Structures are given as C-alpha cells and as structure tokens.
Amino acid sequence: MTHLSRRGALGAFGGLAAAGLIGAPRLARAAEFPLKYGNNLPATHPLNVRAQQAADRIAKETHGRAELSIFPNNQLGGDTDMLSQVRSGSISFFTPSALVIATLVPVAAINAVGFAFRDYDQVWTAMDGKLGAHVRAAIGKVNLHAFETMWDNGFRQMTTGSRPIETAGDMEGLKIRVPVSPLSIAMFKALGSAPTSLQFSEVYSSLQTRIVDAQENPLPIIDVAKLYEVQKYCALSNHIWDGFWFVGHGRTWAALPDDIKAVISRAINEAGLKQRDDIRAFNETVQKQLQAKGLAFNRPAPDSFRARLRDAGFYNEWKGRFGEEAWSLLESAVGKLT
C-alpha cells in the first residue's frame, strides 16, 4: 500500500515535471557551430551594435546551426589576450585595430602612418582595394582569416588633461597613452612625447589616476568610453586613420561548411559597411555632444607635426620597415610621403 502510494506520488510528480517542461520556454539547443567573438569596445559602440545584428542574421540564416556569441568591452581580457586567444582558437573571432594586429603582422600598421590619409574617400579606396588586399594576405600567412570589409575605428584625435595641444611643439614631453603598437610608440617619440603602451581596458583608469596625461582615439570612442570625464582638451589632429580587421581563427574558419561560411561572410561584411555609415553619422554630431559634456576643442594645423615627423626620419624609417611594395600601395592612394 505504502509502496503503491509512493509510486503514485512519484508518478504525479513526474507528470507535473513533464507538464512544466512543455509549458516552459523551449530550451536553446546547443548550436552545431558555437563561435565566440571578443572585442575591446563598449556594447554601445556601432561596432557592437552591428555585430549583434550580424549575429542575429547568422542564427536565422543558418537555422541555428551557427551561433555567434559576442563578448564586448574586454570581457575576455585586453587586446593582447584576445589576440592570443584567436590565434590558439579559444575564441573564433576578434576585431583588433590595425595598430594592434600589427604586433603580429607588422605590415597591418600601414594605414596608420601619421598624416597619410586626408579623408574617407582615400581610406576606403585604399583599404577596399590593393592596400587592403595586401594586408589581408599578410594576415592569412599567420593562419588567421581576415574578412574583406574592414570596420571603421576612425581618425584618431588627441585628448589631454592639463593643457591643449596647438602645434607639434606642445608634444614635447607629453605623457600620452597609445595602444600596444610599435608604430604608435615610434610616432609619438618622433614628435618628442613620452608615449606609454597600454591596452584599451586600462585607458580610463590610467587617465583618472594620472599615470598618463593624454590619450588619442577617434571621437566616437572618446564618447562611448566616457573618456571626456577624465580629459579636458581635444586637439582635432586626425593624425592616424585606424580601422578594425574582423579576423577568425584559421582552422576554425576552414573547418566550417561552405554554406555556413557564405552566410557568415555576407553577414559580417555587410554589417561592416553599415558600421562605417554609423561612424560617418556619429561624426556629424559627436563633437557637439562632447563639447556639451565639457571637452574643449581646437584644430591644430597638421604642417608642424608632419615636418617634425619628416625631420625625425619617421617616414623614411617606416618605409624601410613596411617595404617598397606596401609603401608604394599606400603612396598610390595618398600621394608622396617622403
């Protein structure tokens, strides 16, 4: 009797559990191809907004077979960590800035040569054309897959805490944070500054605690990462154009079926084009927004900076480092630099 009633109770419990399961939201089935993507930018930056749209599209168009999970804002570690994770395959995708991937693929910093690009027409002609193809081929050689469309970071501007920068003379002795990038270090040394390489994850706090006095980034990043809270002045120097390469771990990418690859490529490349438009629109309003938040702007003429770089031998040195082929591809887009 006891035995029976216990079985009865269990049976009832089992039935409820089954009913509960049926009524509950469908548990997500693990995707056949789970793909982790890490980056260094806040979730509100257009790069993350458009990447999320690409992820939704990938889930839909592969009928859930591939799932791109995004880890923004250095959740998986700083740039250096994510670069080694995408090389080992512990993450599938990463969007390093050209400056950052250049620690692995030196020629990738070619787009960041100081004061090379005048405007976005020159940038996209070069990066969607032969110069971009040259860099992508070099990225392929270290067993990473680079998608065709480069995503925009922007023209980098300098912000400072203690004094404005009007001419190249004001760069003397400036303690400025730059990304983990040999080109950035060389360029700011040539300008007479005292640059320090720090990962982006450390920028806000190092400005706040005054480990450094200055940093340089495009205005959209200065806005979304709230760097205006810890900086006073912004010099619209446009000294470097910087973009993000969307790269994948080579073997993970190669192992995906062709139809999945096609969906992912389309989704990422098209999202990248939209992200460029977002940055263009952002650039039309961001200066006013930052002014309203207390940042004081000025626009130094580039001539004194260029002259100082030329006199310090910066262009000649980097022409040698990048090599004749890459340098002539850059000059065919922007004109003579040396």
Q: Is 72 in the site for ligand X2X (CB under 6 A)?
A: no
Contact 53, 19 (CB under 8 A): no
**Which CB sits closer to ligand X2X, 82 or 256?**
82
> Contacts with ligand X2X in 266-325 (CB under 6 A)?
none
State the minimum distance, in angstroms, from the CB of residue 62 to ligand X2X. Answer: 29
Starting at the earlier edge strand, list the strands of the sheet with 151-160: 194-197, 175-178, 214-217, 151-160, 233-244, 296-298
H helices present in the chain, as ranges: 2-23, 46-61, 79-88, 98-101, 120-127, 130-141, 182-190, 203-208, 219-224, 250-255, 258-292, 303-311, 314-322, 324-334
Question: Within its chain, how far is the Cα of 225 from the centroid?
Answer: 13
**Which CB sits closer to ligand X2X, 48 or 97?**
97
Starting at the earlier edge strand, list the strands of the sheet with 144-146: 66-71, 33-38, 93-94, 247-249, 144-146
State the minimum distance, in angstroms, from the CB of residue 25 to ligand X2X. Answer: 37
- Piece of the chain touching ligand X2X by CB under 6 A; list 30-38, 97-105, 131-139, 158-166: 97-105
State the minimum distance, in angstroms, from the CB of residue 47 to ligand X2X. Answer: 10
State the minimum distance, in angstroms, from the CB of residue 206 to ligand X2X. Answer: 12
**Which CB sits closer to ligand X2X, 33 or 244?**
244
**Which CB sits closer to ligand X2X, 160 or 217?**
217
Q: Quick one: which of 33, 93, 200, 322 contacts ligand X2X (CB under 6 A)?
A: 200
Q: Is 51 in the site for ligand X2X (CB under 6 A)?
A: no
Q: Quick one: which of 85, 97, 111, 206 contacts ligand X2X (CB under 6 A)?
A: 97
Q: Quick one: which of 48, 73, 111, 153 contacts ligand X2X (CB under 6 A)?
A: 153
Whole-angstrom CA distances from 180 to 59, 98, 199, 201, 270 are 34, 11, 6, 11, 29
**Which CB sits closer to ligand X2X, 64 or 77?**
77
Burial of residue 12 (number of CB atoms within 10 Å: 0-12, 13-18, 19+)? exposed
Question: Within its chain, how far is the Cα of 151 from the centroid?
Answer: 8
Per-residue binder mask for ligand X2X (CB under 6 A), 73-92, x = binder:
--------------------
State the minimum distance, in angstroms, from the CB of residue 99 to ligand X2X. Answer: 5
Pick from 275, 267, 227, 206: nearest CA to 59: 267
Footprint on this chain of ligand X2X (rule: CB under 6 A)? 40, 97, 99-100, 153, 179, 200, 217, 221
